[in-house]
Amino acid sequence: MRFSVIASAVVAAIVGFGGTLALIIAAANALGATQAETASWVTASCLAMVVATGYLSWRYKMPIISAWSTPGLALIGSSIGFTMPQAVGAFIVTAIAIILTGLIKPISTFVSKIPASIASGMLAGVLFAFLIGAARTVPVDPLFVLPLVLLFFVIRLFNPAMAVLAVLFGGVIFAFATGRVASVPVIELSTLNLIMPVFDMHAMIGLALPLYLVTMASQNLPGFAVLRAAGYEPPTASALQVTGLVSLFTAPFGAITSNMAAISAAICTGPDAHPDAAKRWLTGPFYALSYLVFAVFGASLVALFAVLPAPLIALVAGLALIGAFVNALALSLKIEDERLAAIVTFAVTASGITIAGIGAAFWALVAGLLVAGLDHVKKRS
pLDDT digits (tens, 9 = 90+) for 227-244: 887 888 889 899 999 999
pLDDT at 152 over 80: yes
Distances 143 to 77, 137, 146, 148, 150 between C-alpha atoms, Å: 26, 11, 6, 9, 12
pLDDT above 70 as % of the chain:
98
Ordered DSSP codes for 152-193: HHHHTTT-HHHHHHHHHHHHHHHHHHTT----PPPP------
The residue that leads in pLDDT, 381 or 41, is 41
For 246-266, what is each residue's pLDDT tens digit? 999 999 999 999 999 877 787
In terms of phi and psi (left: phi > 0; alpha: psi -120 to 50; beta: otherwise), the region of 250 is alpha
Q: What is the pLDDT of residue 20?
A: 81
Q: Do 122 and 346 contact (CB within 8 A), yes or no?
A: yes
Number of helices (H) and strands (E), helices first, in the chain?
A: 21, 2
CA 293 to chain centre: 20
Say what the pLDDT of residue 238 is.
Answer: 92
Q: Residue range 164-179: average pLDDT?
A: 89
Share of the chain above pLDDT 90, in %: 43
Confidence of residue 54 (pLDDT cuts 50, 70, 90): very high
Q: Are the beta carbons of 63 and 223 closer than 8 angstroms?
A: no
In angstroms, rounded to a whole number, what is the distance separating the alpha carbons of residues 74 and 356? 22
In whole angstroms, what is the distance from residue 147 CA to residue 246 CA?
A: 40
Higher-scoring residue by pLDDT: 148, 359:
148
- What CA–CA distance (Å, rounded) separates 148 from 170? 7
Taking alpha carbons only, the member of 89, 376, 39 closest to residue 257 is 89
CB 257 within 8 A of CB 68: yes
Q: Which of 12-21, 200-209, 280-289 has the lowest mean pLDDT?
A: 12-21
**Could you tell me if 213 and 108 are in contact, meaning their C-beta atoms sit under 8 angstroms apart?**
no
Mean per-residue pLDDT over the chain, rounded: 88
- Give the model's confidence band at 313: pLDDT under 50 very low, under 70 low, under 90 confident, else very high: confident
Give the pLDDT score at 18. 76
- Is the pLDDT at 217 greater than 80? The verdict is no
- Residue 159 has a CB neighbour count (10 Å cut-off) of 10
Q: Does 161 score more than 70 pLDDT?
A: no
Q: Bridge-partner residues for 300, per DSSP? A: none
**Confidence at 367, pLDDT banded by 50, 70, 90:** very high
Rounded CA separation 71/325 (Å): 10
* The model scores a pTM over 0.85: no
How many of the other CB atoms lie within 10 Å of CB of 272?
13
358 DSSP β-pair partners: 355
| pLDDT of 120 over the 70 cut | yes
User: Residue 378: is its pLDDT beyond 90?
Assistant: no
